[in-house]
């Protein structure tokens, strides 16, 4: 079976199941684990599948939420994320208005943020709690319904709210960046928050660890070309910007 035929078969099989282990997929296709991994890597880079913990799943139009909970993301690549967040501090100056997303990397940044005269706008419940401890930081919470899995607020009136806030710098992360440079997240409300902030902010800073390159998810945020700067632990960006 050719590579193209194998990858088509993989998508057809995954379309009939919520998710399958890579071992099961290899058995169904009668191929080696190594061959299957190459095919899955290619399909993930194309934004057609999601891989988590030895399982693969097709990306469906009905937006099945397979993202990891905030607590699990906070533990994943802990040291790398904390170091990336530390490098982002150089971008922050007294008097700025920052927007921070609900990512675990931005939470690491919030924990390291000095108590300067700043304004911080966020949809993250943990970041709101962290900023409430700072005496000199003005906190603006996006508000709305709390998504307990991602520890963030769903804000239907975000566009109207942003009309009264001038964002100097939007700092965020994402679920993955595919081979084409498109950024992805697992839920529409988180992706929508980032899309709107990217348009509103004067500058933007993407914090991303090396595990997230050549990965896709359910909802597209936008293209890397919309981002001012990226901070990563990867030695160089492995995709074209």
pLDDT tens, position by position, 30-72? 999 899 989 988 888 777 787 777 888 777 644 455 566 666 7
What does the pLDDT look like over 153-187, one tens digit per residue?
999 899 999 999 999 999 999 999 998 899 999 88
Q: In sequence order, what are the residues at sequence separation of 6 or more whose Cβ sits closer than 8 angstroms to the Cβ of residue 128?
A: 122, 139, 141
pLDDT of residue 78: 67
Residue ranges of the chain assigned to CATH 3.40.50.1360: 70-232
Of 5-9, 26-30, 69-73, give the lowest mean pLDDT range. 69-73
DSSP for residue 101: -
Tokens representing 29? 């296709």
CATH number for the segment(s) 3-58:
1.10.10.10
Q: Which of 97, 141, 101 is nearest to 117 (CA)?
A: 97
The pTM of the whole model exceeds 0.85: no
Which residue would you say has higher pLDDT here, 241 or 82?
82
Architecture of domain 70-232: 3-Layer(aba) Sandwich (3.40)
Q: Is the pLDDT of residue 241 over 80?
A: no
Edge-to-edge strand ranges of the sheet holding 229-232? 137-141, 118-122, 97-100, 169-172, 203-208, 229-232
């Amino acid at each position: 079976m050719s590579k193209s035929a194998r990858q088509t078969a993989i998508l057809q099989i995954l379309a009939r199941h919520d998710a399958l282990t890579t071992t099961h997929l290899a058995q169904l296709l009668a191929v080696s684990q190594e061959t299957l991994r190459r095919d899955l890597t290619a399909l993930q880079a194309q934004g057609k599948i999601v891989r988590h913990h030895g399982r693969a799943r097709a990306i469906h139009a009905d937006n099945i939420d397979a993202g990891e909970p905030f607590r699990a993301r906070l533990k994943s690549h802990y040291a790398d994320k904390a170091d990336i967040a530390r490098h982002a501090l150089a971008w922050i100056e007294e008097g700025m208005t920052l927007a921070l997303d609900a990512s675990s990397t931005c939470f690491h940044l919030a924990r390291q943020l000095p108590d300067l005269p700043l304004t911080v706008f966020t949809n993250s419940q943990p970041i709101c709690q962290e900023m409430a401890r700072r005496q000199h930081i003005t906190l603006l919470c996006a508000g709305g319904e709390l998504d307990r899995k991602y520890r963030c607020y769903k804000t239907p009136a975000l566009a109207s709210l942003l009309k009264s806030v001038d964002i100097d710098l939007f700092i965020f992360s994402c679920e993955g960046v595919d081979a084409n440079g498109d950024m992805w997240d697992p839920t529409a409300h988180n992706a929508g928050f980032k899309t709107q902030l990217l348009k509103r902010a004067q500058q933007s800073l993407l914090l991303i660890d090396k595990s997230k390159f050549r990965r896709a998810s359910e909802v597209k945020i936008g293209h890397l070309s919309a981002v001012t700067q990226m901070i990563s632990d990867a030695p160089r960006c492995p995709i074209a910007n």
